[in-house]
Amino acid sequence: MRPRLEVEAVVVEGRARRLLDGVTLTADPGEVLGIAGPNGAGKSTLARLVLGAAAPSAGRIRIDDLSPATFRGRHGIGFLAEDGSRAWERITPRDLLRLGGDDEAPVEDHPLAGILRLAPLLDRAIAHLSKGEWRACQAAFALRLRPRLAVLDEPESGLDPAANERMREAVRWAAEGGTTCLVLSHHLELLSRTADRLLVLAGGRTQDLFAPVELGALEVRARYLAATEDRS
C-alpha cells in the first residue's frame, strides 16, 4: 500500500535560519501521525506545506501522488486551525455542520454529534459558545465527512480533560473510516493515546519517530525530552 502523504527531504528557508531542514515522513490511509515539538520546531510550517498554503524551498510533498494544492482542490482537506477563528460567529453549529454535507440527514444523528456531545450546542449562535465548545464544533466540521486527509493543529486547545478524551475519540473515529490524520500538538498525553506513530520535530529537523503505544507514558516523555533538548 502506497502512503497517502509523502514528505521527502523538505526544506523551508527562513530569514535567519531554516524553518524545516530535510524533513521526511510518510502517513498511510487511516493512520494518525502525531507531530510534537517545542515552539519554533517547524510544526506549523509543516502544516502549511501539507495544506498547500505554502511551497517548500526544496524537497517534495505528495498526497495520493498529487501536489497538496491539486489534492485540496479535488478532494478537500479537513483542517482544524490553531487559532480557532470565529469568522462564522453569527450562524449556528447546525448550519456549519450542514455545509458541504447531506442537508437531509439530521445533524444530531451524525456519530460525531454523539462523540463530541454537540446536541445542546447545535442551535446556539457560535458567538455564544465557550472556547472548548467551539473547538469541538470545529473538530466535527473538519472530520465529519471522513476526508482522505485531515490536519489538526493543537486540537486540545481550550479543552478540559473530559473534552480532550472526546477529541481523541473523534480523531480515532475518522481514522477508522480511512482518514489520514496529522495531529500537531504540545500535549504528549493526547498524542501518546491517539497517534499510531509520533514524530518529534526540533530545530526544523526530525529528531525521533516511534510508536507511542509500545511505550509507557514516562518513556514517551523521556524520549521527547531527549529529542528536543538544546535543539530549539
Report DSSP letters for 103-126, one per residue: SSS-GGGSHHHHHTT-GGGTTS-G
Work out the pLDDT band at 2, boundaries 50, 70, 90: confident
pTM, entire model: 0.92
Could you read off the pLDDT of 125-141 as tens digits, one per residue?
998 999 999 999 999 99
What average pLDDT does the segment 20-48 reach? Answer: 95
Mean pLDDT, all residues of the chain: 92
Work out the pLDDT band at 72, boundaries 50, 70, 90: very high
User: In the prediction, which pLDDT does 103 show?
Assistant: 62
What average pLDDT does the segment 118-122 reach? Answer: 94
Q: How many CA atoms lie within 13 A of 122 on its CB side?
A: 17
Secondary structure of residue 141 in the 3-state scheme: helix
Work out the pLDDT band at 186, boundaries 50, 70, 90: confident
User: In the prediction, which pLDDT does 119 show?
Assistant: 94
What average pLDDT does the segment 172-187 reach? Answer: 96
